[in-house]
Structure 1
Amino acid sequence: MSSVSPSEASYHAIIRADPDNLIVFWSDGAARLFGHSEEQALGQSLELIIPEHLRAAHRKAYSAAMGDSAFKESTLDIPVLLADGQVREHAIRIVALRDAFDVAVGALAIFTSDGRTGITP
């Protein structure tokens, strides 16, 4: 496993989704990285940025993470779908969000515009 650190010019795309996989927060960095405005993204499924061939696996993994209180976070490199149809790989940290009673309230995804972790799913 090898990693490449992000450059000083890198930025972060931050997305928050609810337990039903719907986007409820879309940062300026997300608009810049993915090419969708906040208005276009809010209320949409996370599948907006998931390549079609990975959507079924994403739905299964997201549902499992929301139902499994043992899942806390993961860091890896994943392919993402951009608004212009390109697919690019980006480093991501995914954090499950849970309330004081361990009930899933969604997930937070932090993408780095460049750099890789060397970890793939």
Structure 2
Amino acid sequence: MKTAIDLSELIDCVGDAVIVADAHEKIVLWNAAATRIFGYSEEEALGNTLDLIVPERQRQRHTEGYSKSMETGTTRYGTTLLKIPAKHKDGHTLSIAFTVGMLFDEKNQAKGVAAVIRDETERFAEERALKKRLSELENPSIRG
């Protein structure tokens, strides 16, 4: 038996952010988890570019990569989990992990991307602390 699923209900009930941006990086979909993770309401995010969440120091590289993906219709991050910094509305840095999929129009031209994003900030901080502690145990001379 096949059950009908309301796509917008599904997107809003998942714990990970789902963000869709068009070919010009304009945000066209922003779910409830994106609001929880990044601090921007759907109204604040829609119509803005992804610069909203891309830290200043990464913007040029991000914009170049995004443009190339729109030109070629490919991304090297389709099945690879990408781990990068992001920016919260209040200015603090987040550590996020995400996958991205290309969206195409009826002529098979790239028309945007869909990203599924998880906030890994706490896990990354714990991992860094564990690595530091391991390094201190392995090299007692580097302890404060």
| TM value normalised by structure 2 | 0.69
Bigger share in helix = 2
What corresponds to 2:73 in structure 1?
Answer: 69
Sequence identity, in percent?
36
Q: What are the Cα deviations for residues 97-117 of structure 1, in whole angstroms up to 9, with x where unaligned? A: 11343201100011013367x
Q: What are the Cα deviations for residues 74-99 of structure 1, in whole angstroms up to 9, with x where unaligned? A: 42101100001011111111111113
Contact (CA 8 Å) 2:45, 2:52: kept in 1 or not? yes
What corresponds to 2:117 in structure 1?
Answer: 111
Moved over 3 A (4+): none
| Number of residue pairs the alignment of both structures matches | 107
Bigger share in strand = 1
Structure 1 counterpart of 2:101, one-letter code: V
Q: How do residues 50-69 of structure 1 correspond to structure 2 at under 5 angstroms?
A: 50-69=54-73
- Larger radius of gyration, structure 1 or 2? 2
**Structure 2 residue 90 is the aligned partner of structure 1 residue 88:** no
**Structure 2 residue 40 is the aligned partner of structure 1 residue 36:** yes
Contact (CA 8 Å) 2:38, 2:87: kept in 1 or not? yes
Aligned Cα RMSD in Å?
1.8
What corresponds to 1:119 in structure 2?
Answer: none
Unpaired stretches in structure 2, ≥5 consecutive residues: 1-13, 125-144
Other structure's SS at 1:88 match? strand
| TM value normalised by structure 1 | 0.81
Greater relative contact order structure (CA < 8 Å, 6+ sep): 1
